[in-house]
Amino acid sequence: MDLFLGKVLVKNNRDRDELDTEREIVSKLQNRILMLFFGSWDSEPCQDFAPTLKDFYKRLMDSFYMERPSQLILIYVSLDSTEELQDKLLKKLPKWSLFLHHDDPYKQELGMRFQVQELPTVVVLRPDCSVLLPNAVSEICALGPDCFRQWQEAAEVIDRNFEMHVEFDNEKMRSVTDPIRKLKYKVEKKKRRWWHLTGWGGGRHHGDDTDDQDQDQDEELQEQNGDQNDNRDFKGPWA
């Protein structure tokens, strides 16, 4: 993400919308795997690879294939000699991709930084912009979208797009506190049933309304008065 702070990224759409603020860059690239596609229209292998890359990206981002878009961003780093040639290759790339302006000198810096020696090259970066794969072209061609899961696990990307499916109860509640009262009643009922079965507290029966605190105070009073017989008859939950 820091790799493109202070830079201008352009959307590959009809309006060529620009992402030129830190907020826009962070919002677009945060917690996503980046694919930097170094290519040129003058390179025949790049022309041949572009449709494969488009299909790869489409199957990971299009809602027709995926329940939700993958956390992946494709950025085209053009090495074309003219803007017209750059536009020709951009037409073969998906509309969700981004690119740098043709006259942006940062493209050359990126090529040197990632030691691009051949075209096409797809450098795969983790969200912290460290290199995951120096060139994923052969992997994309061989495995297709399946290789993205391996990238995601290796990059330890947090899936923030996941939303738990919530099922709502159709039964109307009588009041806001109705579920709380039901839960309280259920817990109290279970406690009474447990006391009845184990005989805890002298074998309390279901429906006995004697308060636990009062019983504890009575037992302490009996102990203070030296009532040893009652203490010997008392059976706790460990009996």
Please state, in angstroms and rounded to a whole number, the distance separating the CA atoms of residues 37 and 137.
Answer: 9
* Residue 182: band (very low, low, confident or very high) from pLDDT cuts 50, 70, 90: very low
* Residue 63: band (very low, low, confident or very high) from pLDDT cuts 50, 70, 90: confident
What are the two backbone dihedrals, phi and then psi, of residue 37, each rounded to the nearest 5 degrees?
-95, 110
Label the pairing between strands 98-100 and 72-78.
Answer: parallel
Radius of gyration of the chain (CA): 34
Dihedral angle of Cα 29, 38, 54, 137, to the nearest 10 degrees: -110
pLDDT of residue 179: 52
Domains of the chain: 2-155 (3.40.30.10), 178-233 (no CATH)
pLDDT of residue 158: 62
Residues 100/8, Cβ–Cβ less than 8 Å = yes
The better pLDDT of the pair 109, 221 is held by 109
pLDDT tens track for 108-152: 999 999 999 999 999 999 999 999 999 999 999 999 999 999 999
**For 75-91, what is the mean pLDDT?**
97
Q: Which two tokens stand for residue 105?
A: 């000198």
In this prediction the pTM is: 0.66
The pLDDT of residue 19 is above 90:
yes
Residues 86/41, Cβ–Cβ less than 8 Å = yes
The pLDDT of residue 197 is above 60:
no
Residues 81/39, Cβ–Cβ less than 8 Å = no
H or E element that contains 211: none
The pLDDT of residue 97 is above 50:
yes
Q: What number of helices (H) and strands (E) belong to the chain?
A: 10, 7
Closest CA to 100 of 7, 15, 21, 26: 7
pLDDT tens track for 122-132: 999 999 999 99
Average pLDDT, the chain: 77
Q: Which two tokens stand for residue 57?
A: 């990206």
Q: Which two tokens stand for residue 117?
A: 């020696």
Residue-wise DSSP of 69-132: --SEEEEEEE--SSHHHHHHHHTTS-TT-EEE-TT-THHHHHHHHTT--SSSEEEEE-TTS-EE
* Residue 48: band (very low, low, confident or very high) from pLDDT cuts 50, 70, 90: very high
* Residue 65: band (very low, low, confident or very high) from pLDDT cuts 50, 70, 90: confident
The pLDDT of residue 184 is above 70:
no
Least confidently predicted of 66-70, 113-117, 193-197: 193-197
